[in-house]
């Protein structure tokens, strides 16, 4: 495998692990009008309106009365450790 491919894989791993290691700011998304909270569930009119890093963390999408009900993967310690390990390869 070439060095360029290895660097690209490390970069992808760094970006993805960082996206899964940061807590989701649900309140901020609700204030922006991107996400709606009804009871304990979160709804979105169009998943494409979610920020890219948040959209990656969608676990399930189901049609509901208030739009599309979405659930998200939670951040984990493993991803946080991996993100720290590959921090130097991240885009941002």
pTM to 2 decimals?
0.81
Q: What is d(CA 69, CA 45) in angstroms, rounded to the nearest whole number?
A: 9
Q: Residue with structure tokens 């885009």?
A: 91
Query: Is residue 24 scored above 80 in pLDDT?
Result: yes
Give the confidence band of 92 by pLDDT, cuts at 50, 70, 90: low
Length of the chain measured in residues: 92
Alpha carbons 84 and 19: distance in angstroms, whole number:
12
């Amino acid at each position: 495998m070439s060095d360029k491919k290895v660097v690209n894989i490390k970069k992808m791993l760094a970006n993805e692990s960082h996206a899964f290691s940061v807590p989701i700011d649900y309140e901020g998304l609700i204030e922006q009008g991107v996400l709606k909270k009804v009871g304990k569930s979160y709804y979105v009119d169009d998943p494409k309106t979610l920020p890219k890093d948040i959209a990656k963390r969608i676990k399930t999408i189901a049609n509901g009365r208030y739009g599309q009900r979405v659930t998200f993967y939670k951040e984990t310690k493993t991803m946080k450790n991996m993100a720290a390990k590959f921090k130097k390869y991240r885009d941002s």
